[in-house]
Amino acid sequence: MVRAHIRFRGTVQGVGFRYTTLSFAQSLALTGWVKNLPDGSVEAMVEGPRAQIEELVAKLKNQFGSFIRDQQIEWLEVRGEYKDFFVA
């Protein structure tokens, strides 16, 4: 189990990015949150098995590849503080 702090930049607001992330994360049994930031980027904090988090990112790239200009992932130690995944 790991924790990933992820930031997506590009045209990622106003295209259903957060709710698609929510759907994908729930289908992969991941916990955490996703939210829009004032600078137009989207931030997510995700916990679960690393392979599932990598699958989440791959699904988002597949769905929104033309909208994502850049992404950053910081791998952290899991804290287990979330019970589900939600839009913050």
User: What pLDDT is stored for residue 8 in this prediction?
Assistant: 98
User: What pLDDT is stored for residue 40 in this prediction?
Assistant: 98
User: What pLDDT is stored for residue 5 in this prediction?
Assistant: 98
Residues labelled as active-site residues? 18, 36
Query: What's the pLDDT tens digit per position in 53-81?
Result: 999 999 999 999 999 999 999 999 999 99
Residue type, 23: S
- The structure's pTM equals 0.96
State the pairing for strand pair 2-10/68-76. antiparallel
CB contact at 8 A, 42 and 34:
yes
Task: Tell me the β-bridge partners of 47.
Answer: 3, 31
User: What pLDDT is stored for residue 66 in this prediction?
Assistant: 96
